[in-house]
Amino acid sequence: MRIAVVGATGMVGEVMLKVLAERNFPVTELIPVASERSVGKEIEYKGKKYKVVGMQTAVDMKADIALFSAGGDTSLEWAPKFAAAGTTVIDNSSAWRMDPTKKLIVPEINATELTAADKIIANPNCSTIQMVLVLAPLHKKYNIKRVIVSTYQSITGTGVKAVQQLENEYAGVQGDMAYKYPIHRNAIPQCDSFEENGYTKEEMKLVRETKKILSDNTIAVTATAVRVPIVGGHSEAVNVEFSNDFDVNEVRNILHHTDGVVVQDNNDTYTYPMPMYAQGKDDVFVGRIRRDESQENTLNMWIVADNLRKGAATNTIQIAEYLIAAKLV
């Protein structure tokens, strides 16, 4: 299995390499790919050194699967070229997510939609993945009418520059700014740029992608996305209104038996999800599960996951694992 990692020198690319190794993914040949300025650099994978190659070289090498994490513009330009060469692309950018001809996949929810004809597959947004993994089984049981979500998102979602900004601010050092404002001791109510409706792109990803993954355009979703000075992962306060009533203990039991979800919900022992516990893990953690007493058939939850792992690298690799297991590549 010849695997290209496009964006291998970036933050998500590095995590992809780590997750591939941890999961003993069947790599017979690794092709690390990056922009021209990184060509010739060496990366390490399972104790071996590999030279980074450029995009066209990688296309010509005809990998079986290309794991893309190199930004939307790069993906729009190069994913079709890889696909035309017979490579199946799993793309981590927003480029293809809402394309009606492309599948948007969280393996535990909708991997069975995939066919051998799908040569460009979209990986959802990190904040969407962790939310829908929890919502999917509850939607099946109680039918979701409306979701209100507020996110508290790690600076790692912005990238290395943001991590450097926070470290500089901790140290009192002037440096490049990833954000328009300091992030240390601050919360910035803007993730990504603003759309015409006053919502940010990140907020609208939560709206649009949730409907597509759950295959239900009737679900109403509204979101507020906030950047906080956290490294370990994204947190979300999620309020869900159902068509049908529920029992809170039954909700906990459903989520306890959901693949990829870990319930951490015990007020007596102060047990609830936090980014410091989610960091470096592949699961989605859910807690503070309680009835919204202000409205019928409505539930509150707190959902946390490592945005670089299940929110990006791990989900991408799980899609690849499914393709291999189902003999679609």
Has residue 173 got a pLDDT over 90? Answer: yes
Sign (positive/negative) of CA torsion 15, 288, 185, 276? negative
* Confidence band for 313, pLDDT divided at 50, 70 and 90: very high
Mean pLDDT of all residues in 139-165: 97
pLDDT confidence of residue 222: 98
Has residue 234 got a pLDDT over 90? Answer: yes
Q: Which amino acid is at 215?
A: S
Has residue 221 got a pLDDT over 90? Answer: yes
**For residues 80 and 101, is the Cβ–Cβ distance under 8 A?**
no
pTM of the model: 0.96
Specify the pairing of strand 42-45 against strand 48-51: antiparallel
Cα–Cα distances in angstroms (integers) from residue 47 to residues 16, 33, 43, 169, 178, in the given order:
15, 18, 10, 35, 33
Cα–Cα distances in angstroms (integers) from residue 136 to residues 9, 10, 90, 146, 216, in the given order:
34, 31, 22, 13, 11
Q: What CATH topology corresponds to 127-307?
A: Dihydrodipicolinate Reductase; domain 2 (3.30.360)
Binding site, annotated residues for phosphate: 97
* Confidence band for 202, pLDDT divided at 50, 70 and 90: very high
Mean pLDDT of all residues in 285-307: 98
pLDDT confidence of residue 94: 96
The residues spanned by each domain of the chain are: 2-124+312-325, 127-307
Q: What percent of the chain has pLDDT over 90?
A: 98
Binding site, annotated residues for NADP(+): 9-12, 37-38, 307
Specify the pairing of strand 284-291 against strand 298-305: antiparallel
Has residue 97 got a pLDDT over 90? Answer: yes
Chain-wide mean pLDDT for the chain?
97
The CATH class of the 2-124+312-325 domain is alpha beta
The enclosing H or E element of 2 equals strand 2-6
* Confidence band for 113, pLDDT divided at 50, 70 and 90: very high
Backbone angles phi and psi of 301, in degrees to 5: -145, 160
pLDDT confidence of residue 8: 96
Binding site, annotated residues: 9-12, 37-38, 97, 153, 227, 307
Identify the residue whose tokens are 């390499």. 17
Which are the catalytic amino acids? 126, 234
pLDDT confidence of residue 232: 87
pLDDT confidence of residue 244: 98
* Confidence band for 296, pLDDT divided at 50, 70 and 90: very high
Mean pLDDT of all residues in 288-317: 98
pLDDT confidence of residue 321: 98
Of 288, 301, 65, 307, the closest CA to residue 205 belongs to 307
Percent of the chain that is helix, strand, coil (3-state, to 5)? 35, 25, 40
Cα–Cα distances in angstroms (integers) from residue 102 to residues 115, 162, 209, 309, in the given order:
11, 31, 12, 22
Binding site, annotated residues for substrate: 153, 227
Tell me which long-range contacts 45-49 makes (C-beta under 8 A, separation of at least 24): 45/17, 45/20, 45/21, 46/21
